[in-house]
Amino acid sequence: QADHALTINLDQSDQAAQVLSRTQLKGHISCPCGTKQKLRNCHRAELEVLRQRVPAFMAARMYKRIRGD
């Protein structure tokens, strides 16, 4: 479990939106906070809470807008 708060800057926002747009949060992907740790060892719990507030379809829209697709 991470002992630091999940903070995402603009450079990492596309990665965070991409992670949130997934149907499941798999623990083997890299955490979007930038520590290069696996999600299961870092901010998985915080992202699960955020997913309850931001539906996957909305995160997918945000990801497309950030990427310019």
Q: What is the pLDDT of residues 40-57, one digit of tens each?
A: 999 899 888 888 888 889
CA pair distance 63, 14, nearest whole angstrom: 6
Q: Binning pLDDT at 50, 70 and 90, where does residue 35 land?
A: confident
Its pTM stands at: 0.69
When the pLDDT of each residue in the chain is averaged and rounded to a whole number, the result is 82
Residue 18 burial by Cβ neighbours in a 10 Å radius (0-12, 13-18, 19+): middle
CA pair distance 7, 23, nearest whole angstrom: 22
Taking the alpha carbons at both ends of the chain, their separation in whole angstroms is: 34
